Chains A and B, each alone.
Chain A
Amino acid sequence: MSVQFLLQQCLIGLTNGALIALVALGYTMVYGIIGLINFAHGDLIMLGACLALSLVGALGMTAAGPATTWVGIGGLVLLCGLFCGLLNVAVDRIVYKPLRNAPKLAPLVSAIGVSFIFMNVGLFWLGPADKSFPELLPSTNLLHNDALQFTWKDLLVVLIVGPLMVALSVLVKGTKLGKAMRAVSQDPTAAALVGVDVDRVIAATFFIGGFLGGAASVIYGLYINTIGFQMGFQNGLYAFTAAVLGGIGSIPGAVLGGLVIGLVRALASAYVGERWTGAIVFAILIVILVFRPEGLLGRRVKEKV
Chain B
Amino acid sequence: MATNQAPKTSSPPASPDGPWGFLAQRWELVTLAVLAVAPLVIPALGGALGGQVTNLFIYCILALALNVMVGYTGLVHLGIASFFGIGAYVLAILTVPMYPFQIGFLAAAVIAVLVTAGTGLALGAPTLRLRGDYLAIVTLGFGEVVKVTLRNLEQITGGMKGLNPVPPPGAGVTLAGIDLGKEFAIDPRWFYYLALLSLAGVVLGMRRLENSRLGRALVAVREDELAAQAMGISATRVKLAAFAMSSAVAGLAGCLYAASLSTTADPNAYDFNRSIMVLCAVILGGLGSIPGTLLGVAILVGFDTVLAPWADSWIQQMNVNPKGLSYLSFSGWRLAIFGVALVLVMRYRPEGLIPSRRLAAELHEGGSGS
The interface of chain A, by Cβ under 8 A from chain B, is 35, 37, 95, 98-99, 101-110, 112-121, 123-124, 127-128, 233, 237, 240-241, 244, 275-276, 278-279, 282-283, 285-286, 289-290, 293, 303-305
Given contacts A120-B339, A275-B148, 5 further A-B contacts (CB under 8 A): A35-B133, A108-B133, A109-B342, A113-B343, A117-B343
Give every chain A residue within 8 A of B342 (Cβ-Cβ): 109-110, 112-113, 116
**Contact: B335 with A104, CB < 8 Å?**
no
Chain B residues lying within 8 Å of A278, measured Cβ to Cβ, are 144-145, 148
Q: Which residues of B contact A128 (CB under 8 A)?
A: 326
Separation in Å of the A130 CB from the closest CB of chain B? 15
Contact of B363 among A103, A244, A275 (CB under 8 A): A103
- 8 contacts across the A-B interface (CB closer than 8 A): A37-B137, A101-B366, A102-B346, A103-B363, A113-B338, A116-B336, A279-B148, A279-B152
Asked if A282 and B145 make an inter-chain contact with CB atoms under 8 angstroms apart, the answer reads yes
Is A109 within 8 A of B347, CB to CB? no
Q: Are A282 and B368 in contact (CB-based, < 8 A)?
A: no
Main secondary structure, interface of A, reads helix
Q: Is B136 an interface residue (CB 8 A)?
A: yes
CA distance A246 to B367 in the complex (A): 31
When chains A and B are docked, how far (Å) is the Cα of A115 from the Cα of B204? 36
The closest CB in chain B to the CB of A233 belongs to B272
Residue in B226, B326, B347 whose beta carbon sits within 8 Å of that of A127 in the complex: B326
A-chain residues with CB within 8 Å of residue B134 when the two chains form the complex: 244, 289, 293
Tell me if B's interface is mostly helix, strand, loop or mixed.
Answer: helix
| A182 vs chain B, min Cβ distance (A) | 21
- A residues near B333, Cβ cutoff 8 Å: 120
Q: Does B126 contact A (CB under 8 A)?
A: yes
Neighbour of B370 across the interface among A106, A240, A305, CB < 8 A: A305
Q: Is the CB of B127 within 8 A of A124?
A: no
Which residues on A sit within 8 Å (CB–CB) of B343? 95, 110, 113-114, 117
In the complex, the answer to whether A101 meets B326 with C-beta atoms within 8 Å is no
A290 and B369 within 8 A (CB): no
Within 8 A of A (CB), among B30-83: 74, 76
Contact A101 to B339, CB < 8 A, known contacts A110-B346, A275-B151 = no
Given contacts A99-B346, A276-B148, contact A109 B339 (CB under 8 A): no
Distance from B285 Cβ to chain A, minimum over Cβ atoms (Å): 13
- Chain B residues, CB < 8 A from A286: 127, 138, 141-142, 145
